[in-house]
Amino acid sequence: MKRVAIALALAMPFAAAAADYSVQPAQSQLGFSGTFQGAAFNGHFTQWTAAISYDPANVASSKFDVTVTPASAVSGDKDRDGAMPGSDFFDVAKYPSAHFVSTAFHQSGAQVIAGGNLTLRGVTKPVSLTVTFKPQGSGATLDVSGTVKRLDFGVGAGDYADTSVIGADVKITAHLQLAPK
């Protein structure tokens, strides 16, 4: 009996470990949406990486670590796409990457919330993301969404701080196809 108790005690830390996944880039997208002069627009980043560790049975053991290259932002509008890398928006010459790292996961009713810190333009702020994880065979899909206030990070400050022209809120979305590592 004593051996069984010891074996269970040794196995417990491993039972709580989340599964590590690799993102399948061709089937995945990291996007954003906002408004310009009242009209909605969508865009996405073409260069980003994500380390995903997730356990739907124990969400508290999950972890996200995402690095984005803001210079890769595209929205389909030539003027907007040309402006986003500049010093008024992402300032990619000075800040070539953005980074989100989770700090805690928790269940809120039927939803899972990932809390973490987003660093963009040298500013780090807490961000909460809603997470939907769906197992598929040996892999899964992971959908994530949340909203950030662009001016909290200095994106579009100065002449572009008028939120009646460029909306204050930017919605972040991700659809990730995951394969087990």
What digits encode the pLDDT tens for the residues 5-55? Answer: 444 344 444 445 799 999 999 999 999 999 999 999 999 999 999 999 999
At a CB cut-off of 8 Å and minimum separation 6, what does 83 contact? Answer: 89
What is the pLDDT at residue 156? 95
CATH assignment, 18-180: 2.40.128.110
Encode pLDDT of 49-68 as tens digits.
999 999 999 999 999 999 99
pTM above 0.85, yes or no: yes
Give the residues across from 143 on adjacent strands.
Answer: 132, 175
- Please classify residue 22 by burial: count the beta carbons closer than 10 Å to its beta carbon, then call 0-12 exposed, 13-18 middle and 19+ buried: middle
